[in-house]
Amino acid sequence: MKTGVKRGNKQDGLTLPRPVTKGLDPRKGRDGAGRSAAALLHPARTVPAAFLGVIVLGALMLMLPISRTDQVVDPFMPALFTAVSSVCVTGLVTVDTATFWTPFGQGVIMCLIQVGGFGIMSLATLLALMVRKSLGLRGQLVAQSETHTLNFGDVRSVLFRVARIMLTFEAMTALILTARFWFAYDRNPATALWHGSFHAVSAFNNAGFGLYSDNLISFAEDPWIIVPICAAIVVGGIGFPVLIALFKDGVKVRLWTVHIRLTVYGTLLLLLVGTALFAAFEWDREQTLGPLSPGGKLLGALAGGVFPRTAGFNSIDYGAASPETLMVTNILMFIGGGSAGTAGGIKITTFLVLGFAIWNEVRGRDDVTIAHRSISPAVQRQALSVALLGVAAVIGGTLLLLMVTNFGLERVLFECISAFATVGLSTGITFDMPENAQWVLMALMFMGRIGTITVASALALSSRPKLYRLPEERPIIG
């Protein structure tokens, strides 16, 4: 029986792949058992099924009487919507998290956020490893040397490192927030610890759930609350592969891969642009930043640049924001954060790869190059597919909400982008959504959270070389 390269061989310090038998290869196998196993293990099936299972379990727990303060309201829709929003780390709510749910229910929400965030980071990372393994020997060697990441033999260490990074940053954020709630806001130690821990978990996982009815508006001028939350949001949303590389290589830019460069530079650029535009549009607006002190305005502008990066917290009332601010926020939400992180959206790398593709096309170049590296046509097609599917989901959701609600286009579009990009920001209309509209938002949250991972991975895994090419034609474009 033909086998691949034996496990344990090394070449230039790189671990070679495990043996792959012809009959059990999920892409080349010809026996029924191999095809069935490959079908069941395909990310397009396993990832949604896993998240659906957690959502159902979370909804059942939130429906328990011990989870709710209001025993009169039918708990099904609030529980289901909150479970979807928590597991998908979105933050949209139809009931007040601070008053509708008991401490037990809030604990369930925090656990769902943690499970959802850890599942997203670990699944996205493991799927990236799966994609790399499917590249073949030469492709895997190149990818492994380029990314400085782990191989399939290190799955356990991947999961442990993801968990360790999450818990470390959450603990650091919780410590700062707990001290602030305790000493500055006269919370008793237990309450301060609970509020600090909940908001730390919510921030690192880019969930945006808060234990205050106005979210973070009461703390809009407090840097000891806003800054740690913003830092946790950025770190959680930048992506596990980038965090590992930064810990390993630090500021040695010459060692950074294209993915790391795109994510780091793209994150910094979008944060600066978002903060500057938010300040420009809202600085003197009486309903938002206008009444704040100059320091409070700068802090509010920083929050306005960070929170739309799929976090969902708000330190102003977005229902009172200017149309220009809402438009900029829509763009930031749709782009999202880094891959294999807790952020949503189409991802920074997707957006920038398409941007470089357009730039090279305008300049008349055949190859798309970034940082002296060529980007394969397969990656460009994957980026285009993810972006266009995202646009289609937002347009479809917006059309459906316009049909079943009486809200205007501006607010409905904002709500749909927020749901698809798993952000959680709202202009205040979520509470008034009818049940059929809530189902649309839940579908958008689920598709936005799970779809970008599975679509990108499935496209990469299903790509296979062709031994022939059809005759070429050039339809007129534009």
| Tens digits of residue pLDDT in 349-401 | 999 999 999 998 888 888 888 888 888 888 898 899 889 989 999 999 999 99
pLDDT at site 443:
94
d(CA 385, CA 350): 10
Pair 83, 59: CB distance under 8 Å: yes
List of residues 6+ apart from 62 with CB closer than 8 A: 68, 75, 78, 79, 82, 83, 101, 105, 108, 109
Lowest mean pLDDT among 135-144, 267-276, 329-338, 389-398: 135-144
Pair 369, 412: CB distance under 8 Å: no
Lowest mean pLDDT among 104-113, 216-225, 454-463: 454-463
Domain boundaries, given as residue ranges, for the chain: 23-462
pLDDT at 404 over 90: yes
pLDDT at 163 over 50: yes
Q: Is 373 helix (H, G, I), strand (E, B) or coil?
A: strand
Lowest mean pLDDT among 7-21, 218-232, 274-288: 7-21
pLDDT at site 466:
66
pTM of the predicted protein model: 0.83
Please, what is the average pLDDT of the chain?
83
Helix (H) or strand (E) holding 369: strand 368-370
d(CA 299, CA 279): 10
pLDDT at 186 over 60: yes
